[in-house]
Structure 1
């Protein structure tokens, strides 16, 4: 088959673009450098099925509606109704009711040109402002969300607390398999273990990271801020375990969740899978972040050290979605259409959405643009 659309990257973004394009009659080839599709949504094989990327899906978003229309929604579960612990002032306790009331009482709209911290300080005291900023870390992964655009952070705060988050049973690979099967069923060709050293000839969508797109194109304008985050994944013997599903550390901006409580298939019987994200300041070493994580676990799960069966940690850079600084919105991010036959669809492209939804929206916009009649 001679393709009339080449997609580089078979992550959620690339697979979504492949389905959209194939539905419109395009002959699609998708090239993926890894041995299987999924990109950052790959889930390793048992015994501990710890996602490499984002752990949840928002069922109130445009992409979920897109999946529903095609019968592609994966099996999902809600968070268990266990206590969510919050660490503040060095102490662990339940979610502070006064914090929830303060967030609910914020104005419905926030300014684009003002930082989140400055805006919050006009409405709440300094201690409450810093607590809200720490909560915003959960869905921005930024070491200091207070520096971000107030409008950007506030919109996402409202949505993240609205209750639309779900967890994919079996990990992200469950959804990746559904998308890959649909794409190939529509005639798309997915070539794994195929690294693309240069831009393909003809119409192309780069469904990669922005850094990879910049390398392939040589286009230095393909830049946008993103977070630097440390991730720590643990497989533990259960041994009863504490009575929480998630812990939010407002002091050190760490988020930990026992995903195997939501989905027992993620860990062997009698074991737990915990995945942790921790704020990582520019220049901060991984060892220093891991020390903070261990300190939190010592409080939240006494005895966890002797129960460890599997451990993985990494620093994630520029792969946690776009962040908008004061004075910018998603409209200011790198354009999807790069002129001629090239489209760039990344999590930091000029498209709306939350976290990875941005890349998926960019892919859909790219396919729509490619499907328009040629201008004369």
Structure 2
């Protein structure tokens, strides 16, 4: 029998959509090109269980509440007590208290029409403005967050600094397994190693990247700005390592964290897993970004080169969610409903949220919109 709904992509977005639809009693099939579900939320196998995507989950968001209602919350840990370091003006030191005070003193609302940099310069001096802009890199992955919409950046800055960040024990795959098991338990069929060459007939949710959705549909309007980031993952011997959990480089837009300090299961005994993101300007080569990362490590972890046991790096484009430029909001991003029985749910779609939450909200909206137009079976009959 034909499924009521076909979902392309078994990442966090696709699995959420599968659960939402299956809870409505729909017959769901999920096609995943990879050998296992997860998409960009996959975690590498031991010995160094590095995540492919973002590493924290915001427990104050609607997605966490959605997981709680279904008993799907994964085991989590908070950030360890080890101090974080900030690099500013070429020097390493503790988080500057004056920066927190400056952020707290900003107006509660910022305009969508104005750039973050222009808005900040009306409230703080240029040095403080650039420091705040550098902090915004952590949750936008953009090389120059000052160019983004002030409303977009400021809302996320307030939420990110309010706390509530937790790390999933065992990496993102722990959560992926919980979602996949629930979807399968509700009757959804998850077919891995299944590449979809053309747009499926019948009710469909494309839970992919915008680029893949654009290729499958031929719809050139499926595009939106995203970040360009170099990632460097290192497995290191722990002997003689420094006593910090994370380093934020305000000078070079780099964020490094020793995730195995929060979750020791991510690395073998006596070893550490550090994952690093570095903003890349248009045209900047991965090798040049890696050099900047190495200079930061030389300063923050003396002797790190001799301790390296494993190394991986990549240049990731449009893989870190949507960014909104001045004059735009999430409402202006590519619409989820594409006409008929087709919906597109990505982390760059017209949905609210922070980072991966956008894709989750898009998945929920896609299922809701398909259900409001007609039952999937009825829509299938008309296609």
TM-score by length of 2: 0.96
C-alpha displacement of 1:116: 0.2
Distance 1:45 1:331 in 2: 38
TM-score by length of 1: 0.98
C-alpha displacement of 1:2: 2.4
Per-residue displacement from partner, 1:9-51 (whole Å, max 9, x unpaired)? 0000000000000000100000000000000000011000000
Per-residue displacement from partner, 1:236-270 (whole Å, max 9, x unpaired)? 00003111000000000000000000000000000
C-alpha displacement of 1:179: 0.3
User: Secondary structure of 2:318's match?
Assistant: strand
C-alpha displacement of 1:112: 0.6
C-alpha displacement of 1:230: 0.4
Distance 2:153 2:241 in 1: 34
Distance 2:51 2:124 in 1: 37
Per-residue displacement from partner, 1:114-172 (whole Å, max 9, x unpaired)? 00000000000000000000000000000000000000000000000011110000000
Distance 2:202 2:240 in 1: 57
Distance 1:83 1:255 in 2: 14
User: Secondary structure of 2:245's match?
Assistant: strand
Q: What CA RMSD, in Å, does the superposition of the two structures yield over aligned residues?
A: 1.1
Instruction: List gaps (5 residues or longer) in structure 1.
Output: 370-374
Structure 1 ranges of 4+ moved more than 6 A: none
User: Secondary structure of 1:142's match?
Assistant: coil
Per-residue displacement from partner, 1:36-70 (whole Å, max 9, x unpaired)? 00000000110000000010001000000000000
Partner of residue 175, structure 2: 175
Partner of residue 222, structure 1: 222
C-alpha displacement of 1:85: 0.2
Per-residue displacement from partner, 1:327-365 (whole Å, max 9, x unpaired)? 000000000000001000000000000011001100000
C-alpha displacement of 1:86: 0.3
Distance 1:139 1:164 in 2: 14
Per-residue displacement from partner, 1:50-106 (whole Å, max 9, x unpaired)? 000010001000000000000000000000011110000000000001111000100
Distance 2:185 2:286 in 1: 43
Partner of residue 97, structure 1: 97
User: Secondary structure of 2:3's match?
Assistant: coil
Per-residue displacement from partner, 1:213-256 (whole Å, max 9, x unpaired)? 00000000000000000000000000031110000000000000
Per-residue displacement from partner, 1:293-324 (whole Å, max 9, x unpaired)? 00000000000000000000000000100000
Partner of residue 20, structure 1: 20
User: Secondary structure of 2:84's match?
Assistant: strand
User: Secondary structure of 2:260's match?
Assistant: helix
Partner of residue 354, structure 1: 354
Equivalent residue pairs, number: 371
User: Secondary structure of 2:22's match?
Assistant: helix
C-alpha displacement of 1:212: 0.4
Distance 1:147 1:201 in 2: 41
Distance 1:98 1:4 in 2: 56
Distance 1:41 1:236 in 2: 23
